[in-house]
Structure 1
Amino acid sequence: MRFDLVDLQLFLHVVEAGSITGGAARAHLSLASCSERIQGMEETLGVPLLLRGRRGVTPTPAGDALVRHARLVFQQLQRMRAELGDHAQGLKGTVRLQCNTAALSEYLPDALAGFLARHPHVDVALDEHPSHEVAKAVRDGVADLGILSDAVDLSQLESFPFRTDRLVAVATPELAQQLAPDGHPVPFVRLADFDHVSLAGDSALFNYLELQARRLGRTLHARVRLRDFAAICRMVEAGVGIGIVPEPAARRHAQTMDIAVIELLDAWALRQLAVCVRSFDALPRHAQQLVDALRA
């Protein structure tokens, strides 16, 4: 079985146009030459590839199989050209990355900074979304890769471990003593009815905490909504309310602020963050290298 790339591209043109005439026009070939090439492919295979009718052509089951393989061939050629271009000119491109709040604020900056410093010709288009939206964006091809909680549906995606993320509460020492006098973890339900200091309403973490409160039949009351964890901890120190933040942020700010850290008993407070992609092998080389950097 011997097909050249012209044959494969021509066949795709014919199937996409729905007619041999239309395919010939797209390939800039004469109708006679196009028909001869298609017939030669069918004779080589020993099976018909097209069903011919007055309104055009449609692929047979064998034709459908050829379409799938031809598209894979051209996708692989495109990746080959891109990778060879990378070697010639250095990695170039933009990676579309979506992640949840914890990844964006606590874990991603260091890993991303190192990668960008090593690859000055690669840009990253970064957006924050709740984990389930990140998964959908990657699945739909809106994002090249995502960083999310692996508790969400990861079907049709490849995923790799990134970081372990634990959420904790921060409160004034007096309130912490009241809520957890023995220093043991407390269930979120004991905190849900207190005033809270939260991230802004469009943040992925705020949406996640609201979801957990709804599951308990509660509604979180946020007295103020802020843009970063340092501001939340300052408000907590002033006695405005309780905050729920990633443990690294809580421990860091507890060193310079008069606040106490309260561990949460709930299983959902301990999350495994993962890097997800539709297909690692299908990513451009510069995106693959970013995935490798994040996994490291």
Structure 2
Amino acid sequence: MRFDLIDLKLYCDVVDAGAITAGAQRSALALAAASTRIRKMEDTLGAALLTRSRQGVTPTPAGRMLLKHARTILAQGALLREDLGAYAGGVSGEVRLLANTNALTEFLPEALSQFLAAHPHVSVDLEERLSDEIVGLIAEGVGDIGIVAGTVEMGALQTYPFRTDRFVVVTTAGHDLAKTGRVAFADVLAWDFVGLDRASSLQRFLAGKAAREGKPLKLRVQLRSFDAVCRLVECGVGVGVVPQTTARRAAKTMALGIVDLTDDWALRDLTIVIRSLDELRPYARELVESLRA
């Protein structure tokens, strides 16, 4: 049985993404090449590794066993690169960081820039995910460090406070909602929305909340940043849900109304989650300490 590291990484990426296409993108492989590699792995093993359906792929019992060992092998490979990197004069450490939309867009750019400037031989693999997904992936050892909303159940993971923010509704300055000051998310669903790309963790979260209210989230346009959302809201395209820090910054240069959401989930106590500080590689531990500071 011969699986190389590219095979193992591809397989983990496919399982994490829940689709061969998305897994191939994460591994920087063409879809045809990725499909061929997965098929050859199954032929070599003599058993199916993935159950395929219209909803995506899930690992079979054999696939779950391979996943467990593949992650161990890849983690050891990362440790080997880290230990030898200093001798080679290149990147001597890599940290995989998973974060929700709020943390990724509002707080991590500054925090990471300071850390990376102080550690020129360390790289950070940053990925956006939903908070509950992050907790599961950190528990499974897929990521080193996660930053999640404090409202999710974190089980036995070690946690540290990170930042506090809240989501608000942004509108045009003269909008009816702007006159209320406070509103429930369910009452905002009557208006058209300007939002982030449907693949973003926040947009998926809001769509789920709208579904629980039995109402559609009427997205007129999807963009790549909160600042872009604010610009189109100012132009009267729709209303948006953004972090309060973003809204206050944008309101300095744009004619916006800012309306507090009364829902409990709108207040975001962002939390750092890890499996164990002792299990982290040195640079990952240093990043945790840097984020806490």
Report the TM-score, using the length of structure 2 for normalisation. 0.69
Q: Alpha-carbon deviations, 1:209-244, whole Å to 9, x = none?
A: 112212222110100001011111111011110000
1:226–1:166 CA distance, 2 compared to 1 (3 A): same
4+ runs of 1 displaced by more than 3 Å?
Answer: 82-86
Hey, what does 1:39 align to over in structure 2? Answer: none
Q: Which residue does the alignment assign to 1:222?
A: 219
> 1:229 touches 1:245 (CA, 8 Å); kept in 2?
yes
Q: Is residue 148–residue 272 contact of structure 2 (8 Å, CA) maintained in 1? A: yes
CA distance in 1 between counterparts of 2:163 and 2:126 reads 18
Question: 1-side partners of 2:90 and 2:288: how far apart?
Answer: 18
CA distance in 1 between partners of 2:84 and 2:228 (Å) = 47
Whole-angstrom CA distance in 2 between matches of 1:92 and 1:288: 14
Correspondence for 1:206:
203
| 8 Å contact kept, 2:91–2:123 | no
In the TM superposition, residue 290 of structure 1 has moved relative to its aligned partner by 0.1
- Structure-2 residue corresponding to 1:94: 94
What is the deviation of 1:179? 2.1
Question: Structure 1 CA distance, aligned partners of 2:100 and 2:118?
Answer: 24
Gaps in structure 2 of 5+ consecutive residues? 1-78
Aligned runs of 1:1-296 on 2, under 5 Å?
Answer: 92-175=92-175, 178-181=176-179, 183-296=180-293
User: Structure 1 residue 156: deviation in Å?
Assistant: 2.6
Say whether the 8 Å CA contact 1:91–1:119 is kept in structure 2: no
User: What is the TM-score when the length of structure 1 is the normalising length?
Assistant: 0.68
Structure 1 SS opposite 2:168: strand
Q: Which residue number in structure 2 is paired with residue 45 of structure 1?
A: none
Specify the alignment match of 2:19 in structure 1. Answer: none
Aligned partners of 2:84 and 2:92 also within 8 Å:
no
Query: How far apart are the structure 1 equivalents of 2:107 and 2:258?
Result: 19
Amino acid at match of 2:177: L
Task: Name the SS of the counterpart of 2:183 in structure 1.
Answer: coil
Q: Residue 162 of structure 1 contacts residue 272 of structure 1 at CA under 8 Å; is this kept in 2?
A: yes
C-alpha separation in 2, matches of 1:209 and 1:140: 26
Kindly indicate whether the alpha-carbon contact (under 8 Å) linking 2:234 and 2:255 is maintained by their aligned counterparts in 1: yes
CA distance in 2: counterparts of 1:159 and 1:90, whole angstroms: 32
CA distance in 1, matches of 2:242, 2:206: 10
Size of the aligned set, in residue pairs, is: 215
Measured in 2, the distance between the counterparts of 1:291 and 1:249 equals 24
Structure 1 CA distance, aligned partners of 2:247 and 2:132? 25
CA contact (8 A) 1:168 1:261 kept: yes
Q: Report deviation, 1:92.
A: 2.6
